[in-house]
Structure 1
């Protein structure tokens, strides 16, 4: 059965981007041993991509002319008006994440739904009890402030650690299951 997965990188102090959406601190680790393989392996199990409007805007500004998810349905939760890149399967929606959960799972087919981010959108999935797994790669950098990894309104129950591995001799990939989400 398909699952909702949050696959993300975070600074050691729990931020996924600076306040200005700068990812330079993260991109310096793109070529680290195991990082590309981890991403490619993860993507083989993805049938649908979900992101917020700010993440989509960042992609359009920094990946201009290329769409990173060809052939994969992508849903954008936003209150702004955007256009989709030519040939991309992009759906723009407004509303509560629960309203679209069955559509997202349907689009994923036999595969999983990747909640790309940002953290605020993923926190909405967590609050609705829809977040199954969080795969977070801790990057050995502290930012001091920025956009939080998972800005939930209240503490979550303890997550179950499924796996842990080192990437590039410095980063650590942690895979957690949210309680009550074993399917």
Structure 2
């Protein structure tokens, strides 16, 4: 069964972006040893992508004319009116995340669903009991404030560390599971 995974990078103090959605601090680490291989291995297992409107807007502003997820169905949670990039398999949706889980799972097939971002969207999956894994690259930078990794209302159940490894430039990749692979939701 497909798993819903939050594959993300965050600063040492738990932020995925500055308060103004600046990722310059993260982009300084492009090309670190093991990063490309980790991403490609992860993407081999992705059959459907889900992201928030802020992440979509950032991509459109910073990657004009380049849709990085060609060939993979993508859902964008937004309250704004957007146009899909040419040739992209993009569906714009509104509402609770659990309302669309059957669509995500159907599109993922035998692969997984990637919650690209942001943290607020991933927190909605966690609150609905539908986030299975967090795959976190901890970047050795302290931001002080910004957009939180997973802004949940209260503590999560204990997560299980399923893997960890050190990558280049002091980056540590941690894989946590919210539950067993057999978990099917709430």
Query: What TM-score results when the alignment is normalised by the length of structure 1?
Result: 0.98
Misfit runs of 4+, over 4 Å = none
Q: Write out per-residue CA displacement over residues 115-170 of structure 1, whole angstroms, 9 at most, x where no aligned residue.
A: 00100000000000000000000000000000000000010111000000011040
Classify the secondary structure of the residue corresponding to 1:102.
helix
Counterpart of 1:156?
Answer: 156
Alignment of structure 1 residues 3-152 onto 2, 5 Å: 3-152=3-152
Name structure 1 gaps, 5 residues minimum. none
- CA RMSD of superposed structures (Å): 0.9
Kindly state the Cα deviation for residue 80 of structure 1 after the two structures are TM-superposed.
0.4
Kindly state the Cα deviation for residue 91 of structure 1 after the two structures are TM-superposed.
0.1
Query: What TM-score results when the alignment is normalised by the length of structure 2?
Result: 0.96
Classify the secondary structure of the residue corresponding to 2:80.
coil
Name structure 2 gaps, 5 residues minimum. none
| Total equivalences in the alignment | 183
Q: Write out per-residue CA displacement over residues 44-97 of structure 1, whole angstroms, 9 at most, x where no aligned residue.
A: 000000000000000000010110001000000000000000000000000000
Classify the secondary structure of the residue corresponding to 2:115.
strand
